[in-house]
Structure 1
Amino acid sequence: MELNSRNNPQSGDLLISEPFLQDENFVRSVILICENNESGTFGLILNKLSILKLSDVIDRFHHLDQTVFVGGPVEQNTLHFIYLGNQLFDHSISLGNNLWWGGDFDELKDKLSSNEIDLDYFRFFLGYSGWSEGQLMEELETDTWIVCQLKESKNIFTSSPDDLWKIILKNMGGEFKHLANYPIDPRLN
C-alpha cells in the first residue's frame, strides 16, 4: 500500500482514521472510497461489524449467516455490497484491483439463490459514509484521515475486521507503522 496524494483521493483508495479520532462512527476505521467527485464522496467502512446477518436483511435467504457491516452513519436502511474477482453483475462499478462496488440487486438475489457466488469474497453494508462537496478535503487538511492506495484487494476480505486498521498502517511502513501501535486513549498508557 502506498500513501496517496492527500489532495485527491480516488475511487478504490482507503481512508484510514488518525489514531486519536474520537468520533464514535469512525474510531479506528478503514473506509473504502467508492466515489469522489465534485458533488461529494461516498465510502464504506470496511471494519465495523453490525449485529445483523445477511439473512436478517434480505428476505428468503434464511440460510445466509454472513455478517453485515456498518458502512457508515448515513441511510442505514440501505444495503450496499462490494466483491472481489471478475465483474458478476450489470452496473457494478470497478474500483480497481478486481474490486467491484454494487450491481443489479435482482441479479445478486438470483445468484444467491442458485449458490453461484463465493460469499467469502463479498462484503455487505448497511448505510454508508458520505461527505458533501469540499467536506472531505477539509478533514484531510486537518489530518483526520490518511489516504492510501489499495494494492491488494484480497486483504479486505481475508483480514479480521478488528485487525484491519493496524494491518494497513503497518503495511504502509515508516511513520504509519508506528501509528498502528498508538493506544486509543494515550492517558491509559
Structure 2
Amino acid sequence: MKAGTFLKSTALLDDTFFEQSVIFITDHNEKGAMGFVVNRQFPRKLNELVEFMHAGPFPLYEGGPVDQEHLYFVHRRPDLIEGGAPVADGIYLGGNFSTAVQLIAQQTLQETDVRIFVGYCGWDNGELEAEVAEGSWEVLHESLLFNM
C-alpha cells in the first residue's frame, strides 16, 4: 500500500460508513494510513459554513468518520497554493487553506483543481493491509480523484 492508491469497498463493508466508498490514500507509513472518501458529497456546500459564506457554493465531500469538525483538502495546483505535501501523480495534500478559499471565491480554482473534505479516514499500522487481505477493500488501478 502506498500514498496515491485508490480503494473501493466491497460487500463486506455494506451497512457501514464505508458502504460503496472509494478511498484515496494520502499517507501511508509505519504509523498507519490516512485517506479520504472521494465519492460521497457532503450535504452542505462550502459557503453554507458560516466562516466561508463568502466563498461561493463549492462542493464539500464526506472525507471519513474521523475528526469531522475539521476540513481537509487535496489539490493539484501547487503553483497557486503553497505548503502542500506531495501525495502522488501531481496531487498535493493541504497547504495554505486561506489562499485556497480565496481562489475558490475568485473562481480561479475549480472543482477539477481542489477537493475539500469534512473529516478523514485513518488506520493504525497494518490495519488497512489486514482489511484488504480479508477482502473488505479492492485496490483500484486508475486515478479517479478529479474524474468523479
Q: TM-score, normalised by structure 2?
A: 0.86
- Aligned residues, how many? 148
Greater CA drift, 9-18 or 51-60 = 51-60
Moved over 4 A (4+): none
Aligned pair 1:33/2:18, yes or no? no
2:44: which partner in 1? 52
Tell me whether 65-74 or 94-103 shows the greater mean CA deviation. Answer: 94-103
**Unpaired runs of 5+ in structure 2?**
none
CA RMSD of aligned residues (A): 2.1
Identity %, equivalent residues: 28
- 1:4-153 alignment, distance < 5 Å: 9-57=1-49, 59-62=51-54, 64-150=56-142, 152=143
Q: How far, CA to CA, are the matches of 1:72 and 1:41 in structure 2?
A: 13
Does the CA-based 8 Å contact 1:21-1:27 persist in structure 2? yes
1:158 maps to amino acid: N
Tell which deviates more after alignment, 131-140 or 80-89: 80-89
Superposed CA offset, 1:1-32 (max 9, x none): xxxxxxxx111110111134224210111000
Unaligned runs of 5+ in 1: 1-8, 160-189
Task: Determine which structure has the larger helix proportion and give its number.
Answer: 1
Point out the structure with max Rg over C-alpha.
1
Contact 1:92-1:102 within 8 A present in 2 as well = yes
- Please identify which structure carries the higher strand content: 2
